Structure 1
């Protein structure tokens, strides 16, 4: 099993939780200072952070697996760098890419997908790197599958899907880092924007990916949603900025 788990540290956990619910995610596990929400494909974990701290608004790249020991063995057999380590939640695996970026694979609490989450919303992990090919090899080694119809062009990204939910993308960048909290929306953007406005979120269309080499007709629009912790939540949606989608 392999499933996307994006962890957002935030000083505005109730507000971020409400935003994710407004976007069609559904509650999973919750506790003091943390909450996990499920999309139709992938999960988001929110963790409290002190306002203004370096963690506040940061998103941590991560995945969930069924059996950490077996996952580590298979990843190593397929050419990836995987090391078992102990954590408060039990054994987990640290994967390191050729560019030095590292992330963890945690044991999953369940393997099912929620039936009542918005089927058009997907959680997307972004690994910013100058080494697209090396990063793509690492993602293949952990069992991610090349995406048949990527959102972005091959000069910008290499995109993969996780078997049990979510998208993982290596995105070309000058410096190595984890991307922010990103989701994909495959429904009508003409319905998404009014939906966000009605819920009180000031979303803005800021970038047509077509101008940067997007591979789909009509390009990909980047919808930015400002949040109280100072970091936007991003939604990638197909269709031309300011125009009507052809569905």
Structure 2
């Protein structure tokens, strides 16, 4: 079991909730300062931090797995460095890459029917994209192969992967290793999605076939101006 589940930290959770629900995600966990939203493909965790916190406006690359111990065993067998990592909240897996980047695999919870599916009420056309920036795209792509992600496309500047249980993992080239920005893909026309956002009072526009949604974290100066929703490549 493998699913993309980035974690976005924000001091503006109400604004983000409005955007995510207008995009067609469904809130499935609400523990005060921690919320989770299901897309048709993939899941997003939303963590509430105070304004000015170092994480405010940032997204952490992470995934969900079914059995942490089994995931670590298979990942190491595939040649990717992974280890069990205990936290007060849960047993997780820490994955390490040659570019110095580390990310975590969190234990997933099953749906009410016992499957690993996301909420049936989420828009099935929407997918969550978790992004990792790396100076070593090819080596980092091998890490994602090692955790069980399935290659979709690759070139010198990026590599994109599907996951078995939903969501997209992407490595893009950058001078320094780190977390990339949150993005989405949509497997349908963008105009109805724009209409939903506008009806919810969310500022958005379509330009050259890409939907740009005003990022509520941009006011702090550290986050990009827009959240990007792209059509699924043909």
Structure 1 and Structure 2 fold alike (TM over 0.5): yes
TM-score of the aligned structures, taking structure 2 as reference length: 0.89
Equivalence map 1:192-207=2 (5 Å): 192-205=193-206
Contact 1:43 1:123 (C-alpha < 8 Å) held by counterparts: yes
Q: What is the distance in 1 between the residues matched to 2:91 and 2:79?
A: 21
In 1: Cα distance, 2:107 partner to 2:56 partner: 25
Unaligned runs of 5+ in 1: 209-219, 240-246
1:67-216 correspondence to structure 2 within 5 Å: 67-110=67-110, 111-147=116-152, 150=153, 154-205=155-206
What is the match of residue 113 of structure 2? none
Separation of aligned partners in 1, 2:128 and 2:19 = 14
**Aligned 8 A contact 1:203 1:226 in 2:** no
Q: Is the 8 A contact 1:182 1:233 kept in 2?
A: no
> What is the DSSP-based 3-state SS (H/G/I as helix, E as strand, rest coil) of the residue aligned with 2:5?
strand
Q: Which residue of 2 aligns with 1:213?
A: none
- Aligned to 1:79, what secondary structure does the other structure show? coil
How far did 1:161 drift?
0.8
Q: CA deviation at 1:97?
A: 1.1
Structure 2: any 5+ residue segments left out of the alignment? 111-115
Q: CA deviation at 1:195?
A: 2.6
1:235 counterpart residue number: 228
* Cα distance in 1 for residues equivalent to 2:18 and 2:73: 39
| Residue in 2 that maps onto 1:43 | 43
Runs (4+) of structure 1 exceeding 4 A deviation are none
User: For the residues of structure 2 that align with 1:188 and 1:130, how far apart are their CA atoms?
Assistant: 34
1:229, distance to aligned residue in structure 2 (A): 6.1
How has the CA–CA distance of structure 1 residues 233 and 61 changed in structure 2, closer, same or farther, with 3 Å as cutoff? farther
Equivalent runs, 1:52-67 vs 2, <5 Å: 52-67=52-67
CA deviation profile, 1:158-200 (whole Å, cap 9, x unmatched): 1101111100011112221111221111211232223322221
* C-alpha displacement of 1:136: 0.6
RMSD after superposition? 2.0
Residue 91 of structure 1 deviates from its aligned partner by 1.5
- Residue in 2 that maps onto 1:243: none
